[in-house]
Amino acid sequence: MLFAPEKAILVGVQLTETKHIPLEESMQELTRLAETAGAEVVGQLTQNRPKPDLKYFIGSGKLDEIKAAIAAYNANMVILDNNISAAQNRNLEEALEVKVVDRTEIILDIFAQHASSHEGKLQVELAQSSFLLTRLIGHGVAMSRLGGGIGTRGPGETKLEQDRRYIRKRISELKKEIEKLRKERSVRRDKRRKSNIPTIAIVGYTNSGKSTLLNALAKSDVLTQDQLFATLDPTVRRVTLPNHKIVLMSDTVGFIQKLPHQLIAAFRATLEEVSEADLLLHVVDASHPYREDQINAVLTVLEELKCGTKPMITVFNKSDKLTRKISGELLKKHEPSVVISALHKSGLDKLVTIFSQLLRQPA
């Protein structure tokens, strides 16, 4: 877990295969991630490469620049915007003599800090354990390449195997516990389905205003914070429409660019609230300069969850920060859609009218 005193240098590498994600956008997001995790960002460096360096991921020249930045800013950790291998992580830490974490680790750390429910903590531990196992396997691969001999025999290797066995056993236990909770959640959903109450899942990029929208519609007090991944546990609320009909709304974990696959797999039970919903409300921070990239990132995750064809309304939030022209362009480009301000509760009547029609419930 990260603590406030840690001073971090951020490092981003723009690879040919990731040019569809602007480096500036990704680095801004990494800054938010680092700060949310509790790090103090004291500097950042970027590099363009056709492909990663096998040993360090970054080039040797950039490695020297990072060393100089660490000394200049008295930094004690480096956070990479990319995901690196176990061997690359170890090589970087040996060369830089500070802790090195990648994008997946920083996101996992934030999830660990924000998990509050029993189910949420189990899912985070599963994701972290799955990630740790890849790091241990990576060390094992590196050792095997040495061909055995000095430095690869004895208690050290035995300890590594013990660690692997323990983690695999723990992963198996976690999966069983989560599966039990998943079945309980499924039973609750079946009961709701039998009651013929429509369900709506609120999805969207992290910090787009999903919880604020749920609070506005349900007149509830779900936690809202101006930070990434403030909501991890799905919250279900009853919402009464103007015609007194009832719908159930669930607020789900936010998505992000380069969302670690370990998290998608670990939180699949929670994300079933999305796949089982009758309708999705895709909340977008309409004021964000990279809103289209964020929209695409959410749609990509929904495809992974096999929810790409589910009925969905794009909800452009934070209308108070938009011009009328931009609002009109967004509505024309994305249909069906609506422009609202969840914070100021404007545009909500129109949103209710649209989703009532889609649910075949006249408002």
Q: Is 232 annotated as a binding residue?
A: yes
Q: Is 342 annotated as a binding residue?
A: yes
How far is Cα 88 from Cα 127, in angstroms, rounded to an integer? 21
Q: Is 38 annotated as a binding residue?
A: no
Q: Say if residue 176 is exposed, middle or buried (CB neighbours under 10 Å; 0-12, 13-18, 19+).
A: exposed
Q: Is 233 annotated as a binding residue?
A: yes
Q: Is 209 annotated as a binding residue?
A: yes
CB 8 within 8 A of CB 39: yes
Q: Is 319 annotated as a binding residue?
A: yes
Record the tokens describing residue 159, joined without a space. Answer: 């300890």
Q: Is 207 annotated as a binding residue?
A: yes
Q: Is 204 annotated as a binding residue?
A: yes
How far is Cα 163 from Cα 138, in angstroms, rounded to an integer? 13
Beta bridge partners of 202: 251, 281
Q: Is 343 annotated as a binding residue?
A: yes
Residue of 62, 57, 64, 44 lying closest to 18 (CA atoms): 57
Q: Is 297 annotated as a binding residue?
A: no
Q: Is 206 annotated as a binding residue?
A: yes
Q: Is 320 annotated as a binding residue?
A: yes
Q: Is 240 annotated as a binding residue?
A: no
Q: Is 332 annotated as a binding residue?
A: no
Q: Is 60 annotated as a binding residue?
A: no
Q: Is 349 annotated as a binding residue?
A: no
- Of all helices (H) and strands (E), which one includes residue 328? helix 324-333
Q: Is 278 annotated as a binding residue?
A: no
Q: DSSP assignment of 61-127, as one string?
A: HHHHHHHHHHHHHT--EEEESS---HHHHHHHHHHH-SEEE-HHHHHHHHHHHH--SHHHHHHHHHH
* Residue linked to tokens 């997001």: 29
* 321 conformational bin, left if phi > 0, alpha if psi -120 to 50, beta if neither: alpha
Q: Is 250 annotated as a binding residue?
A: no
Residue of 202, 208, 205 lying closest to 296 (CA atoms): 205
Q: Is 230 annotated as a binding residue?
A: yes
CB 302 within 8 A of CB 166: no
Record the tokens describing residue 6, joined without a space. Answer: 């840690």
Binding residues for Mg(2+), by number, are 211, 231
| Residue set of the binding site for GTP | 204-211, 229-233, 251-254, 317-320, 341-343
Annotation: binding site: 204-211, 229-233, 251-254, 317-320, 341-343
